[in-house]
Each structure stands twice: as C-alpha cells, then as structure tokens.
Structure 1
Amino acid sequence: MNDRTINIRSIQHYMYCPRRFALLEVNNDWQENAFVVKANLQHQHVHDGSHCYSDSKKIVRSDISVYNDDEDYDIFGVTDCIEFVRSESGISINGHEGLFEVSIIEYKPKAPKGYDFNETDAIQVFAQKICVDSVWNCKSEAYIYYADIRKRVKLPFDSEYQKYDDMLKRFLSEMREILEEKRIPQRRKNQKCSGCSMADICFPKEKKYCVRDIIMSQKGAEAK
C-alpha cells in the first residue's frame, strides 16, 4: 500500500460531494449524525460474525478485506458479505472442495424511492467487485440488500461493466488529484447538504452580531 492507494469507502464520499471527501481525507475532519450512526449500527451487526456460516450449498463470510493493486485501480476495502455458492461452473476456493460462484452482498439501511438503487452505492460495490474478481480470479455477481424492504437488488455489472469501470477510473483519478494537491474544493452548485453529517464543519454557523454581548463583555473586562 502506498500514498496512491484509496479506500473504497472514500469513493462514495467523493461521489456525494468532493468537498466532503477532501475534508475527511485532507483535513482529517469527521462528524456524525443520526443517519451515520444508524448505518454504523447496521454494519456492526453485519460484521459481528453472525452472518458467517456454511452448509451443503454455500459458504457465507462477512467482514472480508479485499484489494486490487493494479495500477489502474490501487484500491482496498472491506466487504459486508461474500457468498461462495457451489456450482459446477464456478472457481476453486483454497481449503474447500468443489467449485463456487462468488456473490458480493452490500447492506444498506434504506432503499431509494423511484429507482432500484443509488449510483453512489453501485459504484462502491463495483469497486469491491474489481477487488474480489482480482483476489479469487472470478467474475462475481453483486447485490445490494436494503434492510427497510428486506430485498436484494442485483446490480447490472454484467451488461454495464464498461460504464462503471470508466466511471470508477475517472473518480479515482480526480480523487488522487485532490489528495496530491491537498486541496479543499468549493461546494458544488445545487449540492444537497441537509443530510450531510459534515455540514457544520463544512460551513460553520457564525454567531449573530449582538451589541448587548459586546457591552457586557467590556464591562466584565473593566470590572477586573
């Protein structure tokens, strides 16, 4: 791992807002809100080991670290869950007999309204796929599980692989430019900030000018 290596979780921050990404990665700022806490609690449950099991049909493992050190990517991260499903057309897994097809499952608390999945979620999972395919030399399938509707949504990487690959490489290039320049971008026009946990750090609220407070502070100084 070197200075160019990017954590997969940072990609979603960048897609949401490059300024947020820079505050996190360049300034090392961080602040949580209710949405972040809820997502963290769900992921703690996913990664606590209770989702790990094996039976005659598949092997399920959570909290698996993956990476791809190819120069085009140079990324790493941790998957929520990977399923190794027995299949005659699959690949071999060290320590296990038989062949397996590989599926990535990413857990999200709430499904989007009006469409099947969020693009920010999809590109995060695609980055995981790039790593998983490299580690196990396979062509994995990828899903998002939305907890509120208890449903898996398959992501269209088979039919739209090039679209997501181009998108991922472009984002990684732009992210590295920000990191190398140690630059905090300006907020994008029409950026939605109401649900962002970093809003107060990004644009701190200035205390209103108050003549009474100034006079009282001066009196306090004179009293001393």
Structure 2
Amino acid sequence: MSEDVTINIRDIQHYMYCPRRFALLEVNDDWAENAFVVKANLLHENVHSGERNFENKRKIVRSDVSVYNDDPKYNIFGVVDCIEFVRDKSGDYIDTLDGTFRVEIVEYKPTRPKAGEFNQTDAIQVYAQKLCVDNVFHCNSRCFLYYADVRRRSELPFDTQGAEYDKMLCDYL
C-alpha cells in the first residue's frame, strides 16, 4: 500500500461484494437503485441520524463515528455505524471518555444471509473498521453484524481468525 493513497472502507466492501457494481458506482457514476439498496439506505440513515446516541450507567453509544488507520500497511478510513463503549473495569482505558470500557463495533445490515452467519465481504468491512477503531481508541474491540430483518447480532471471529482476515484485507489493498 502506498502511503499517498488512502482507501475508504466502504469502497473495499463495495469492490469485494461485486467489482462490476463498484465500477458502476465509483468509476462510471452510473447506478440505478433497487428495493434492496433503498432498504439498506433507509436503515443506515436511521442509524447515522444521531438519534441512537445515548449514555447510561452501563454504556455510552455513539453512531456515525469517523475513524482511520494511517499505518502505511493499511492507510484506510471510514465511518462506523455504531460503537458501544460498555463500562468494564477490566476493559481498555479510553482517555476521551476518562474510563475503562469494552469497545464493541456494530455494523448494521438489512438482511441476514441465506447461508451462514454472515457474508465474508461484510466481515472484511468490519475487520477494516476494527483496525481503525483500535487505532483511534487504543483498544481491542469486539465486532458484530446486526441484521435488522431478524433483529439479531452475530459476533465476528476476529479474536481467533484475525490473521486470516488481515491477509484477506491486505490482498485487496
């Protein structure tokens, strides 16, 4: 990865999902939305509206969080749908929040895949977000995909398969 090229995490996911679709979106600026795209856009508008930001004794929740990782190996940036800072005495110290927290990334998707717990392209997207969140907040975050249609979270296996995801991501960078 060249230091002078910074890549948006969204572009990585779009390209991995479908290179043709990526070209229509980013190169040709020629894309017609369908019902699936509109549904996903509405879900993300709701998540990114800021109405989901809150604090209580147990956790601090922030949506639409900009993050980056400027390590020359990655040089990526993007926006995380939601980060939950769960108060935990054995968690990571987050200086901007002046406390110890378990940091959890939650990426929202409209529908659960028909086969498997999650799509690999979605997992790579969240892995890239994790690299950025861990860089910004100096933590080791846990990561989840939330599927709106079944109202369920799936935890991603980065604690045991992080090296594999790092290789997959770097292959695309």
CA RMSD in angstroms comes to 1.5
The 5-angstrom pairing of residues 121-160 of structure 1 reads 121-160=122-161
In the aligned structure 1, how far is the partner of 2:25 from the partner of 2:74?
20
Q: Is 1:57–2:58 an aligned residue pair?
A: yes
Q: 1:66: which partner in 2?
A: 67
d(CA) in 1 for partners of 2:45, 2:21: 23
Deviation at 1:133, TM superposition (A): 0.6
2:84 corresponds in structure 1 to 83
Residue identity over aligned pairs, in percent, reads: 63
One-letter identity of the residue aligned with 2:95 = N
Q: Distance in 1 between matches of 2:4 and 2:138?
A: 26
1:95 is displaced (CA, Å) by: 4.2
Specify the alignment match of 2:8 in structure 1: 7
Runs of 4+ in 1 over 4 A off after TM superposition: none
Provide the C-alpha distance between the structure 2 equivalents of 1:109 and 1:99, rounded to a whole number of angstroms.
32
SS at match of 2:98: strand
1:119-178 CA distance string (max 9 Å, x none): 111111001001001111111000001011110100000000001000000011xxxxxx
- Could you tell me the TM-score, scaled by structure 2's length? 0.93
CA distance in 2, matches of 1:41, 1:115: 25
Partner letter of residue 99 of structure 1? T
Stretches of structure 1 that go unaligned for 5 or more consecutive residues are 173-224
The structure carrying a bigger strand percent of its residues is 2
Question: In the alignment, is the contact (CA less than 8 A) between 2:94 and 2:138 conserved in 1?
Answer: no
Q: Tell me the amino acid that sits aligned with residue 88 of structure 1.
A: K
Structure 2: which 5+ residue stretches go unaligned? none
Using the size of structure 1 for normalisation, the TM-score is 0.73
Bigger relative contact order, structure 1 or 2 (CA pairs below 8 A, ≥6 apart): 1
Between structure 1 and structure 2, the one with the greater Rg is 1
Deviation at 1:27, TM superposition (A): 3.0
**1:130 partner amino acid:** L
Counterpart CA distance in 1 for 2:110 and 2:25 is: 22
In 1, the alpha carbon distance for the partners of 2:134 and 2:30 equals: 33
Q: Are 2:113 and 2:119, in contact at CA under 8 Å, matched by a contact in 1? A: yes
The AA in structure 1 aligned to 2:103 is V
